[in-house]
A = this chain, B = another copy of it.
Amino acid sequence: MDKVPATKSAKQTSSKEKSNKEKFREISVAEFFAKNKELAGFANPTRALYQTVRELVENSLDATDTHLILPEIVIRIVNRPELSGSNGSEQRFTVIVEDNGIGVPPTVMANAFGRVLFSSKYVIRQTRGMYGLGVKAAVLYGQATAGQPLKVVSATKGSSYSYMKELFIDMKKNEPRIVSEGQWRRRGSWHGTRVAITLMGDWRRAKNRILEYIKRTAIIAPYAEIIFETPDGEIYYFPRLTRKLPRPPREAKPHPHGIDLEHFKIIIKESKAKTLLELLVQEFQSVGEKTARAFLKKIGVNPNLNPKKLLRKENEELLRSIVDEMKKFEGFKPPRSDYLSPLGEDLIKLGLKRLFEPEWVEAVTRPPRAFEGNPFIVEIGMAYGGKIPPMNEPLLLRYANKIPLLYEEKEDISWKVLSSINWKLYLINFPAPLVVLVHIASTKVPYKGVGKESISEIPELEQEIKNGIQEVARRLRAYISRKMKEAETLRRITTLAKYIPEIARSLAILSKPPEKWSLPSPDEEKLIMDKMAELIATRVPTARGSDGKTQTIKAIRSIVESARTE
């Protein structure tokens, strides 16, 4: 090794740098997403309009139901011809979403809307937003295509004032550039947030997706009131169907199975724990003192070790082996799923009934499971028949942390599972009127991209979705099987009933001694026929309970009647 003074080499290389012509530079994360709009779902004016609605609605829901507020959300898309091209080809719209949520404190308002990767979502909690990116990507898209600032008005619960800011994102610096602001005494008791973003959009093409998105949001949040006003002046109103809110999600500590070296080092650095034992108990979920002791004993590490010592170079191997063992140790309780917020079977059934008016609907909330230390719950809803039109494959409704996913269905884990199901086992032959809803609730939804449209193939997730679909499908099979038996029975009864008048008459005659044989009176005959109809009806399996029995008797009687008068 032939060392040279650093200064000399630096000089030498600076001339080389020019000759190889590669220009290195750093860009801000705002510039990154401004230049690669498609990564966050803003590939074109159609997707951009859809994505903007989505991101704002999801923020509104996070600001309401997560905090036990019954959501009231007003969505408006307003045409802005004065900002549009002369021949109307480059159309601009303002998307306005107002909610009655907890509001954004004025001290963080500018950053929350004007700084990429500034967010309240960087904790372990089930939220719709995950990346701290969506609304800012919409702002970046808006300022690049319409040149207008974002406008936000917000009042936190209990504050005496409402605050307003208009801002751009300084793309090079990734920071908000405020163009106007104000504050005023709050009107009435309103709290919440109202955001307006102006952007180039293609309403004509985006319309169906946006409507579908809002509809599917209403299915899964029947406790919300949603009003949507389109640029054409149409108003869609989704009334609240229930005041029952799902239990809100709670913030959790990391689970030892989900830890990596880097994360563990940060925990050690930031913790006040004096011993490794304390560290495990204080900084992790699902680790009690007893479990922590058992774990440390198993791997032969002193519980009283000062955790800061693990950061030393000579303890590198020990640290790595502790993390390796933590990820495998089966003595820890599973991740806390009681911090998750599933929808519950009732809400799912309610939503499916409202939208599809099916003849049969069922739902299941599966028991919690975990992948890499992240707890998750899979929920499956299924609707069949009624007003659902027969389709060549099941209609799949995908949800993750209570948001509908519309794009990129074919690459989603739920689609993969759904298409592996052999529906014939469940007595379904396509075309069939079948809707399947899959909801995944987790502190970490493993999306494939920041646009949040499809979910990666995590084996644990796949298994649970499969279990859930099979569970509900078995109930559907039972229902269909009953229906089929009923139909079969009805066929038999029809055959049988035709002979009832004949048999009834014979019975009426035979039930008397031979010397009294004579044609029965019509009353007599009717009595016997009714008895027989009832007798048959009690032997018939029915899917409709006691009401079904009455109907069966009625059906038999009408068959008998027509046979008699033939």
Contact A24 B112, CB 8 Å, known A89-B328, A143-B262, A171-B262: yes
A131 engages B32 (CB within 8 Å)? yes
Most buried by B among A4, A29, A172: A29
Shortest A422–chain B CB gap in Å is 20
B22 engages A102 (CB within 8 Å)? yes
A29 to B117 alpha-carbon distance, docked (Å): 7
A429 within 8 A of B: no
Q: Which residues of B contact A17 (CB under 8 A)?
A: 105, 107-108, 156
A514 within 8 A of B: no
A103 to B36 alpha-carbon distance, docked (Å): 27
A405 to B29 alpha-carbon distance, docked (Å): 26
Considering only residues 99-117 of chain A, those with a C-beta below 8 Å from chain B are: 102-103, 105-108, 111-112, 115, 117
A161 within 8 A of B: yes
B156 engages A13 (CB within 8 Å)? yes
Q: Which of B23, B119, B157 is the one whose CB lies under 8 Å from A123?
A: B23
Shortest A114–chain B CB gap in Å is 11
Q: Which of B144, B410, B447 is the one whose CB lies under 8 Å from A263?
A: B144
Shortest A374–chain B CB gap in Å is 12
Q: Which residues of B contact A111 (CB under 8 A)?
A: 24, 26
A23-43 to B contact mask, C-beta < 8 Å, 1/0: 111111100101110110001
A9 engages B161 (CB within 8 Å)? yes
A557 to B46 alpha-carbon distance, docked (Å): 69
Shortest A151–chain B CB gap in Å is 15
CB closest chain-B residue, reference A62: B22
Q: Say which one of A179-187, A273-281, A529-537 lies at the interface with B.
A: A179-187
A434 within 8 A of B: no
A506 within 8 A of B: no
A14 to B86 alpha-carbon distance, docked (Å): 47
Q: Which residues of B contact A36 (CB under 8 A)?
A: 131, 450
Q: Which of B1, B24, B43, B122 is the one whose CB lies under 8 Å from A27?
A: B122
B157 engages A27 (CB within 8 Å)? no
Q: Say which one of A319-327, A495-503, A558-566 lies at the interface with B.
A: A319-327
Shortest A542–chain B CB gap in Å is 45
A157 engages B20 (CB within 8 Å)? yes
A3 within 8 A of B: yes
Shortest A156–chain B CB gap in Å is 5
Q: Which residues of B contact A471 (CB under 8 A)?
A: none
26 contacts between A and B (CB under 8 A): A2-B184, A4-B183, A20-B102, A20-B103, A20-B105, A20-B157, A22-B102, A22-B120, A24-B111, A25-B118, A26-B117, A29-B32, A29-B117, A35-B122, A36-B131, A38-B447, A85-B321, A85-B325, A143-B262, A144-B260, A144-B261, A144-B263, A147-B316, A411-B411, A448-B449, A449-B450
Which A residues lie at the B interface, using CB under 8 A? 1-4, 9-10, 12-14, 16-17, 19-20, 22-29, 32, 34-36, 38-39, 43, 67, 83, 85-86, 89-90, 102-103, 105-108, 111-112, 115, 117-120, 122-123, 131-132, 140, 143-147, 156-161, 163, 171-172, 182-185, 260-263, 266, 316, 319-321, 324-325, 327-328, 408, 410-411, 446-450, 454, 456
